[in-house]
Copies of this chain bind each other. A is one copy, B any other.
Amino acid sequence: MNYTYQYPHPAVTTDIVIFSVRDNALQVLLIKRGGEPFKLVGLAWRICSHRRELDECAKRELHEEAGLEDVYLEQLYSFGKIGRDPRERVISVAYFTLTPSEHLKPSAGTDASDVKWFAISELPELAFDHAEIIRVARERLAAKMEYSTIGLQFMNEEFTLSQLQIVYEQATGKTLDKRNFRKWILSLDLIAETGKKFAAGAHRPAMLYRIKDPDRVDIIR
């Protein structure tokens, strides 16, 4: 079946930058798909059906490609440069998301071997203009880390303050003083001790914390 218009219409896609902090580094989830004009890894993306909302398209892509649900998802920016897809004019409404990498489930629709994390500092050559999209997403993330509580969205159910500090350091690109970071994050009253401890080697075990209101992202400062 064909669809006809009186003037040219672009395709609209939702592309998603999936961030996680893994192995003490900010990483991005990239996918290698067959049937694309580039033989390269790239972001998760899909054409947005005319019967779905943009946010819904992004959510479905996130679910089907990465097995992620109920994660923080924010529209980033729209990229529409002529020629970004050599096949036709494509307007890409980009989103970004933050997740603890443990939440990633093997997905139904995708061969797991084609989905891989890459450190932001060691990205391979990327399909389309996805390098540019990731660059913009990284800037937005770094900025929002400073003035919102978005950083907590990287965390698992339970985490130590050192793990949280690493997340802040990796996502902002700044190193932080341990004492000052702890004072600051505790003063925000966003996390609480669980009472449990986490022993991870030949040293004093760390207190475990949880997020008081995990779904909430607020503007602070």
Chain A residues within 8 Å of B, Cβ to Cβ = 1-12, 47-54, 75, 77-78, 80-82, 89, 91, 93, 147
Contact = CB atoms under 8 A, between A and B. Distances in A.
Given A80-B53, A80-B54, A91-B54, A8 B4 contact: no
Nearest to A1: B6
Given A75-B78, A77-B75, A78-B78, A89 B50 contact: yes
Given A12-B80, A78-B78, A91-B12, A3 B2 contact: no
Given A3-B6, A8-B49, A51-B82, 5 more contacts: A10-B10, A12-B80, A50-B82, A52-B82, A147-B147
Looking at A5, A51, A80, which has the most chain B CB atoms within 10 Å of its CB? Answer: A80
B12 A10 contact: yes
Closest 8 CB pairs of A and B: A9-B9, A8-B50, A54-B80, A50-B89, A78-B78, A4-B4, A3-B8, A78-B93
A38 B210 CA distance: 50
B6 A9 contact: no
Nearest to A51: B82
23 contacts: A1-B6, A2-B4, A2-B6, A3-B4, A3-B5, A3-B7, A3-B8, A3-B9, A7-B47, A7-B49, A8-B49, A9-B12, A9-B50, A10-B12, A10-B48, A50-B89, A51-B82, A52-B82, A53-B82, A54-B78, A78-B78, A80-B93, A91-B93
Contacts of A49: 7-8
